[in-house]
Amino acid sequence: MVKHNYATDLMSKKKLHLYKKYYSRNYPGKILDNVDSNPVSTKGSFREVLKYLVDQKYIFLTEDGFCHLLPKGVFIQEVISKKAQEMLEAEGMLHYRFSTIFPETKDIYKNLTSKFKKQLFEIVAENKKIGYLKYASDPLLFSYFSNRKVYTTSGIYSPDFCFRYFRTGEMKPLIQPKEFFITDFHCFCEPKQFETYVKFALVNKGAVELFVKPEDWHLNIDVNIEFFDKNKISIIDMLDKISVNAVINVTSKKTHYYSIQNQYIVEYFLGNETQLANLQFDEENGKAFRIESYQSGYPVNVIHGSLFGRSEKILALVFGKQIEESKKNLTRPILPLWLSPIIIRIIPIKENISISTYIKQFEQKLIALRSRYEIDTRELSLSRKILDAEKDWIPFQIMIGEKELKNSTLSIRDRSLGNVYPLSLDNFISKLANLDVGNISTQNTPSIFRGNDFY
């Protein structure tokens, strides 16, 4: 049954009449009114995850709450951005990049910025306020598309850095950073075209389940009662297709520009939760900014979405879940291969011309597969190199010495299996070719991922 209860209107801080409704994956096709539901409390500290990310040089945290991404952290951000691009271009979306600065010169934008007023960074030049740093893509998007005609259903995605002034705590440098990278997208659709919203609700589900199992997340839905009553069948259809537990907060009146909002709430460490993806169905701003459909001539509805939320949250989520699971199951934590900065670390057991030639042959095959690898040539003991690779969560350690050279094999320390086994070079390459290792190659700059940067 449903175990989450977030039936509060946190955004507006108004005391509204809330109808608490629930959808359980155990009862498809039904929205239930009387289900016991208890809030999940924060059970554990996030310091352990932050410490790992800092120690392994994914991030650097300043005393005033700013988060710097170091090379491995930058890599993960770039992989997430690339994954978002692949998923959204598969839906026919175009890539736009809007300015980082927006002026507050028109009353029409105030509805968009009012709830963020205390979080906006002002830009001042010659003692005069000239605007704000972008807190989201909405104000820039609407200023560009205002008084234009658009094709429905057309969409754009605009991943970029945004800025909001948050007070940070032990978790918030990643959960609520002052500067963050977000994978925003928008879709224009005809009035009452709710099936497009359902389509992107499923796209977001796919994004969330790249990182967590279905049982580790739920939907939190905010909707006003008028929209809920008119679209109840479509909402149930959406929930049946997504097939996860949901808490539906039905308000007595509309409080925001959107008519319905899906918040994808994930568990990321010891009972701590955060919103990852987000989706909103907006029936107001198409009219307000006079954005019309080429096909019908009517003002469009706008779907606002974010596949992964802030990319910094992915660090909190992925590393937190892995550390938690490893303790629960007594296994070694490991990143998904497509997110691992280095997939293979080659450790020569002995160095001579023959072994170096064999390693170069291996390298050429890895390069052809665009697999991320590095060679540990440090003048350290073999045991120390293996220990460092364990600390770095390297998925595959490849030991190569005289025995491997003689037999044309590799000695593979497989982190996911927790054992060491021999395999021919060609068989390992075949195995690697069938794995999702992502599409970003870094073999030209491998040494930075051992944490050996400038300090």
pLDDT tens by residue, 270-311? 878 889 999 999 999 999 999 999 999 999 999 999 999 888
Query: 401 or 43: whose pLDDT is higher?
Result: 401
Neighbouring CB atoms inside 10 A of 337's CB total 17
Angle between helices 71-89 and 194-208 (to 10 degrees): 150
Tell me the pLDDT band of 116, cut-offs 50, 70 and 90: confident
Tell me the pLDDT band of 47, cut-offs 50, 70 and 90: confident
- Nearest CA among 251, 279, 253 for reference residue 265: 279
pLDDT tens, 313-335? 888 889 998 998 888 888 889 99
State the chain's mean pLDDT as an integer.
Answer: 85
pLDDT at 173 over 90: no
Q: Which two tokens stand for residue 6?
A: 């977030």
What is the per-residue pLDDT for 431? 94
Residue that has been written with the tokens 């029936």 in this structure:
283
pLDDT at 171 over 60: no
pLDDT at 32 over 90: no
The domains of the chain are located at 18-325, 337-450
- Nearest CA among 101, 97, 161 for reference residue 125: 101
CATH of span 18-325: 3.30.930.10
Q: Looking at 1-15, 193-207, 213-227, which range is the least confident one?
A: 1-15
Question: What value does the mean pLDDT take over residues 32-41?
Answer: 54
Does 18-325 match 337-450 in CATH topology?
Answer: no
Query: 150 or 12: whose pLDDT is higher?
Result: 150
CATH of span 337-450: 3.40.50.800
pTM of the model: 0.87
What is the per-residue pLDDT for 131? 85
